[in-house]
Amino acid sequence: MLIERLMIGDPAAKEQLYDRYAGALYNIVLQLVPVKERANEVIVKVFLWSFQHIGTFRTSGHHTLFAWLLRKTREFAIKEALPETALAGTELMKQEDGILQQFYLMLPADQQQVFRLSYFKGLSITTIARLLALPEGQINEILKEAIKSFRQFLKKTWN
């Protein structure tokens, strides 16, 4: 098992981890960070982080290494993208054919806006509410609807 080999610090396992997940994660990073050089940085950071913190996987609540890496990838990507793009309007995301992008484009306008600010921009409900001048409760509801649709989208296409 890859995870056991990673735990004991096997260098070949680390290489394998990269080869297995870098492509899928890069696709996701490109949707979050529109600048290629920065997206590259995110990938480097995520993998170096994963090698050092592999011990936290078991207690992270994730079942798959992919989901564990994905959480951190998004965290790093949002930090990397924040300076320029956080509050800018509707700038295009580079990877138009990513799964989250596909899903996002199917949403009704109000959900699209909230999902974009929440998932792609990493803003909190409070910040989104302030930004859109709407009550937090309402933002919460819109986001919940969007995520419900995401569940259906995943189940329908990738079950």
Element (H, E) at 54: none
Does the footprint of other proteins cover residue 34 (CB under 8 A)? Answer: no
End-to-end distance of the chain based on CA atoms, in angstroms? 24
35 binds other proteins (CB under 8 A): no
* Region from 22-30, 85-93, 104-112, 130-138 binding other proteins, contact rule CB under 8 A: 22-30
CA torsion 8-40-28-13 (nearest 10°) is -20
Does the protein bind other proteins through residue 148 (CB under 8 A)? yes
x/- track of binding to other proteins for residues 73-112 (CB under 8 A): -xx-------------------x-xxx-------------
Cα separation values, 89 from 43, 74, 113, 117, 119, Å = 26, 20, 10, 10, 15
Report whether 41 contacts 81 (CB < 8 A): no
Q: Three-state SS across 95-123?
A: CCCCHHHHHHHHCCHHHHHHHHHHHHCCC
Q: In angstroms, what is the minimal distance from the CB of 141 to other proteins?
A: 12
Per CB under 8 A, 151 contacts other proteins: yes
Q: Note the residues at the interface with other proteins (CB under 8 A).
A: 9, 11, 14-15, 18-19, 22-28, 30, 39-40, 43-44, 47-48, 51, 61-64, 66-67, 70-71, 74-75, 95, 97-99, 118-119, 125, 143-144, 147-148, 150-151, 154-155, 157-159
